[in-house]
Structure 1
Amino acid sequence: QRSLAEITELIHTALLVHRGIVNLNELQSSDGPLKDMQFGNKIAILSGDFLLANACNGLALLQNTKVVELLASALMDLIQGVYHENSTSKESYITDDIGISTWKEQTFLSHGALLAKSCQAAMELAKHDAEVQDMAFQYGKHMAMSHKINSDVQPFIKEKTSDSMTFNLNSAPVVLHQEFLGRDLWIKQIGEAQEKGRLDYAK
């Protein structure tokens, strides 16, 4: 189980390293020389791949095919979740008709799958039955979602919010606010706020 925890951390770290890859098409002059950014991207790719390779080797040493299957499916979920996040442009945020059920699904893919399936895999290694494994899965899933909700709510509870802070219209508080108000009134409020040039996080 300790080895499994280390493998899970390796996968998580590898994903964070890969997420650090810079989109060269969006570079500005203040970001630094292009060659430096290209070199940095290569290092990020190689480092992330090295960590993933070590994680795969560790999984093989566990000699449990179900655990390998669980972690492989978690990795697939992570990639799918990140792809969805990156494929959504800023301009289309307000047109995305996202409800709380969709938010839960997307959050599970990009944040919860790895922890949930790792918890389930730990119970599999301990030879617990399917019921206990499912309880561990649910624990990991809801723990990850709680962490994501806490992250989403930070711009609304901080006393001082930087004007440069990124505001995500698909964050949990905004999605819940949309369901409370109704889609049409929500779009109207967001449009009015965008016309003023900034959003009031406190409202």
Structure 2
Amino acid sequence: MIHVASLLHDDVIDRADLRRGARSAPAAFGNKYAILGGDFLLGRASAALSRLGESEVVELIASVITNLVEGEILQMNKVAQQGAALVNASYVGGDSWSILMAKGSRAAVVLGGVREGELWKEVAYAYGRNLGIAFQLVDDVLDYESGEAALGKPGGADLRLGLATGPALYAWEEHAEMGALIARKFEKEGDVELARDLVRRSSGVERTRELASAYADKALETLQHLPESEARGALEVLTERVVRRTW
């Protein structure tokens, strides 16, 4: 419910007309109803959390809501920094996803009945964080690779919002003119098209996909701390599917 609420709010912020190929909530019902709908879901999620009776889980998931909002603000106001080191050191685009998945995974371990030691909680947190970053990096690749039919939304959506994600930042290393586009947040007419062309003529997409695979590998490494089981095998398959997904 928290995730769906964040999508409703995202579509307002992003001025998105489509969500998975259908009209988005803001397009269908207006911004006010979309925001109120998201708020309603957050309220219901909070009520459900309180009924779990696990104070640690309530605190974890409540902090996720704060982190999601902080992530959106940071994403909207991020000042471009020289070089694609930003992609590796502090990937803003994947931060909200990684926090959601990291704390959600940790909460699942708590709810599973673990009462002794912090090891399994830390393993779950690390797995979720790395998987979340990998997921978002693949999402950023698909924004350049896939068409509207596959994504259910127009390609280049991040650029139109003034956001420079992994492919654009890596392309900056190979095409200096990308820096000026990033600095002015692709606001001038033709900036988005030029940026997409620069990315296509660079190794930005390939390098971003490689980075996603690296984070997925870290997630798989983390799982090796767990005993062999059907559940661990399912998490390994999930990790591989995140990297291979095309939508």
How far did residue 41 of structure 1 move?
1.8
Provide the alpha-carbon RMSD of the alignment: 3.6
- Within a 5 Å distance, the mapping from 1:45-194 to structure 2 comes to 45-87=35-77, 96-97=80-81, 99-104=86-91, 106-128=92-114, 129-158=117-146, 165-166=156-157, 168=159, 170-178=164-172, 180-181=173-174, 187=179
Structure 2: distance between partners of 1:63 and 1:143? 28
How far did residue 195 of structure 1 move?
9.7
Structure 2: distance between partners of 1:51 and 1:97? 36
Higher helix share: 1
How far did residue 54 of structure 1 move?
0.6
- Secondary structure of the corresponding residue to residue 21 of structure 1: helix
Normalised by the length of structure 2, the TM-score is: 0.57
1:18 equivalenced with 2:13 (yes/no): no
Q: Which structure is larger by alpha-carbon Rg, 1 or 2? A: 1
Structure 1: distance between partners of 2:155 and 2:109? 44
Q: 1:87 to 1:76 in 2, by over 3 A?
A: same
Structure 2: distance between partners of 1:20 and 1:68? 27
CA contact (8 A) 2:147 2:155 kept: no
Normalised by the length of structure 1, the TM-score is: 0.67
Structure 1: distance between partners of 2:166 and 2:75? 15
CA contact (8 A) 1:103 1:170 kept: no
Q: 1:82 to 1:102 in 2, by over 3 A?
A: farther
Structure 1: distance between partners of 2:200 and 2:127? 31
> Runs of 5+ in structure 1 lacking a partner?
1-9, 25-35, 89-94
> Runs of 5+ in structure 2 lacking a partner?
16-25, 149-153, 202-247
